[in-house]
Every structure is written in structure tokens, then in C-alpha cells.
Amino acid sequence: MAVLFHYGGCFFSINGRGGVSRVRRRAVAAANSEEYGKLEEKVKLGGSEVKVSRLGIGAWSWGDNIYWNWNNCFQWDGVASDRKLKAAKAAFNASIDHGITFIDTAEIYGAPYTLGAINSETLVGRFIKEKKGKDPGFEVTVATKFAVLPWRLGRQSVISVLKDSLYRLGLESVDLYQLHWPGIWGNEEYIDGLGDAVEQGLVKAVGVSNYNEKRLRDAYEKLKKRGIPLASNQVNYSLIYRAPEENGVKDACDELGVTLIAYAPLAQGVLTGKYTATNPPIGPRSLIYSSEFVTKLQPLLNRIRDIGEKYNKSPTQVVLNWLIAQENVVPIPGAKNAEQAIEFVGALGWRISNEEINELRSLASKLQPVFGLPFEIL
């Protein structure tokens, strides 16, 4: 029987004969080889013509100074800024070079909304420009979002904000434009704005985010009347946060042909196994994943590691593969550096068994429900 422990960012397995296998390093090395990268065909976003890689990258942490850098705020300033900027750029390039060409950002990520030193869209635009200078033929599919703030009124506000996003991204059009959450009012006009954006050639596909089943169906029907497909609904979805399975959102997406984009697919790092009761997440994430919860999570994490040993995969790759196996789901884990991005690639090109899918869901169901992100509206 193998005994696993975590040290220095790697998972080690003592196999009972005294041998030690470095599971995570092997998994990352395999993902970095030519064996991976483009093993799976791209998938269409809903009924649109936009195709994306089977796995995407979330760019929320790029530029953020608070949520993802709570232990050392303003890391994007001064000397630390240069290090983090290089790491984010490396994550972008590694993703693209290994076939993960779907990048998701938002106008609200980073400055000025979340005390960021720079806006995530600005960074994505910069990375695209620099990459294009070295490799003019490279592929990238960009998604961003409209922040549904109460003072933004009317369908024209969608177009106005979108043009600002395009300027920051350095693009003439964006592949996917999403409403970041439902508005307090004016939702029909926001949907009209999405339709206008398509008809004006500013976007190729449109979607929503954090929409419950009823809102999803209403948006789908409203756009359908104009001959425009609702491409996606981006929601919080992971092995330990399966609300979309329980509240009808996943079934509605499958029925309507709307792609479910899963944000926080690693439960903000908790499912990677790097946290323990004595080393829990800090800052805002500690409100969602307490030391007590992390302790209760260990039996599930142990089984995830066992499955990873079987396939020569890291826990991160197992958890992402579990989501991909649900079908009609495109996970978008966040990558802070190249190593993380390359590790994600190892979630592709294989499939966890149905028995293991059900076993992990059963183990996860024994945990207390995990609250979603503070701003999540479902």
C-alpha cells in the first residue's frame, strides 16, 4: 500500500518497498512532453461557432492585489510586481504553447475595482501582443465579462463598456462576452445589449455567468428570438461545490445546448491537496474553507491521490478530469505561473472511470455544503 505525503509543492509516494515516486513532478513532466497539449478536439461554445480548448485558463489573479494576494497585498507594485508579471506572462505562454488556448478574464478583475495595480484585461492584451510579435500565427480565444453594476442602465451601457474592454485587450472583437452576474434591475436590457454586440460585430458569441435555471432559460429564449444562441453560463462548479447539479442549472445547460463554464474548478486550490488544517487558505478564502472543513476534506483528498497514483496523475489533474468527464463542461482553473498551467494540460487525453466518478461524488457528498463565492448569485 502506498503512503502519500506532501512536501515542497510535490506529492511523494512511499510504495512500501522503500521507493519514492514524485507523483506531481512526473505528472507535470508528462504534461510538458509532446504526448499532451492537443490530444482533444476543441469544442463549440453552445450553439455558437466559437470553438475553445477543452480546458481554459482563468485570469482573475492577474493584477489582483487582494483576493489572491491577501498574505502580501500590493504584490503587483514595485519589485514584486516584476516577478508576478513575469509569472503571469509565463502562465499565459505555457497555456498557449500546450494547447490551452481559451483565456477568461473580466473588466472587474484588478484595477480599479479590486484594488489591483493593473487590470487583468490589460495584462491579457499585453501578453497577446507580445506573443503575436514572436508567433504571428498563434491561436487564442478570449472571453471577458460586463460587470452588471446598478448604475449601468440600458442596452447601450453593454456596448460602451465592451468597447472599453476591447481597447484594454487590444482587440477589434472578443470571442465570448458574458454578463458577470444578474443585475438588480434591467436584465432584459442587458440581454438586448449582448444581442446588439453580436449584430455590430463586436463579439462572436455571448454568455451569462452566475445565472440560475430560470434566468438562464429566459436569457436563452430572448436571444433566440433574434436568432442568436446563448453560448454559455459560467458558474461555480467543482467536486465539492456541485450546486449546478442540484439546482437544475447543469440539466438546463445540457437540454438547451448551452456550455457550462466551470470557474473555481479546484475549489480555489483546496482540492489540489496543498492545504491542511494547520495550513488552511488565508484571507477571504478562509471564510469559505475553514481549518475544520479542510480537516473533513482529507478522506476525499486521500482517495483523489490514490486515483492519481493509478493514472500517474496529480490530484489537480484528477479533479479537473472529473469535471471534464461530466460532459458539456469546460473548466477554467486559474494559473499563476507556467508550472500550474502545464500541470493542467495533464487533465486532458484520458478519462477517469465511471466507478471512480461516482465514488468521488459519493465521498464529496458526505461533506458539509460549501458556500460559494461571496458575490455568487444563483
What is residue 274's predicted lDDT score, i.e. its pLDDT? Answer: 82
Residue-by-residue pLDDT tens, the chain, 378 positions: 333 333 233 333 333 333 333 444 544 444 444 444 345 689 999 999 999 999 999 999 887 766 655 455 445 555 557 788 899 999 999 999 999 999 999 999 987 665 556 899 999 999 999 999 999 999 999 999 999 999 999 999 999 999 999 999 999 999 999 999 999 999 999 999 999 999 999 999 999 999 999 999 999 999 999 999 999 999 999 999 999 999 999 999 999 999 999 999 999 889 998 877 677 666 666 667 777 778 889 999 999 999 999 999 999 999 999 999 999 999 999 999 999 999 999 999 999 999 999 999 999 998 865 665 544 545
State the Cα angle at 264 between 316 and 273, rounded to 5°: 35
User: What length is written for the chain?
Assistant: 378
Cell output for 48: 455558437
What is residue 45's predicted lDDT score, i.e. its pLDDT? Answer: 98
Contacts of 186 (CB under 8 A, 6+ apart): 152, 153, 154
What is residue 154's predicted lDDT score, i.e. its pLDDT? Answer: 94
Question: Are 316 and 28 within 8 A, CB to CB?
Answer: no
Question: Are 171 and 163 within 8 A, CB to CB?
Answer: no
pTM confidence score:
0.86
> Going by DSSP bridges, is the β-strand pair 43-44/20-22 parallel, antiparallel, or unpaired?
unpaired
What is residue 70's predicted lDDT score, i.e. its pLDDT? Answer: 45
What is the dihedral angle through the alpha carbons of 221, 224, 226, 232, rounded to the nearest 10 degrees? 100
109 a catalytic residue: yes
Catalytic residue chosen out of the listed positions 67, 109, 177, 241: 109
What is residue 260's predicted lDDT score, i.e. its pLDDT? Answer: 98
Q: Which of 197, 194, 182 is nearest to 222 (CA)?
A: 194
Using the CB atoms, write b or e for 115-131: b if 16+ within 10 Å: ebbbbbbbbbbbbbeeb
Give the chain's domains with CATH numbers.
39-274+313-353 (3.20.20.100)
